[in-house]
Amino acid sequence: MEIQKLYDLDDIEFEDITIALVRLVKHIPDHEFFFKINQINDLKFSRIKDLVYHGSYYDFYFPRFEAYHKYTKTCFTFISNKSSESNQKKLQTELFAEEENIKFLLNNHPEVEYILHSSEQFPDFSVILLAENLAFPIQDYNLSSEEELYQIIQYYE
């Protein structure tokens, strides 16, 4: 007797998700950035458990900050694009290993400081006000289901 497959991964359609890229005008510490964000918004962002990426040689830790919108009950999460900490798991023995002790979630965008994600299917990032002298305007960015960051966000959601 054969066991019937519950899910056929080829038949499941994955939808793209929209995230936002936040670039800072100048480098400032996380606590200072979110202090200013919390002053000008109804949302109150607080630090939550770090996103952990397990590489071959290092475990990387990315700070996360979360807030809930009172009326829409939408959860907004800022994820640091650059790892704040890395713990070496094993010694690199390869000469040209691609893994270093610093990692970016979006390798093609190292200038991005934060990745903003929403629990909504069609997010409206305009509800979050950023101080003009701290950050450039928020830029929407589509993540396809084939990208690694898509899988990471889905896991932590």
Banded pLDDT at 11 (limits 50, 70, 90): very low
Average pLDDT of the segment spanning 53-63: 91
Count of CB atoms situated within 10 Å of the CB of 38: 15
Would you state the pLDDT for residue 65? 96
| Among 24, 43, 32, CA closest to 119 | 43
Count of CB atoms situated within 10 Å of the CB of 29: 8
| Among 142, 141, 157, 136, CA closest to 51 | 157
Say yes or no to pLDDT of 14 above 80. Answer: no
pTM for this prediction: 0.81
What percent of the chain stands above pLDDT 70?
Answer: 89
- Using a 10 angstrom Cβ sphere, with 0-12 exposed, 13-18 middle and 19 or more buried, the burial of residue 105 is buried
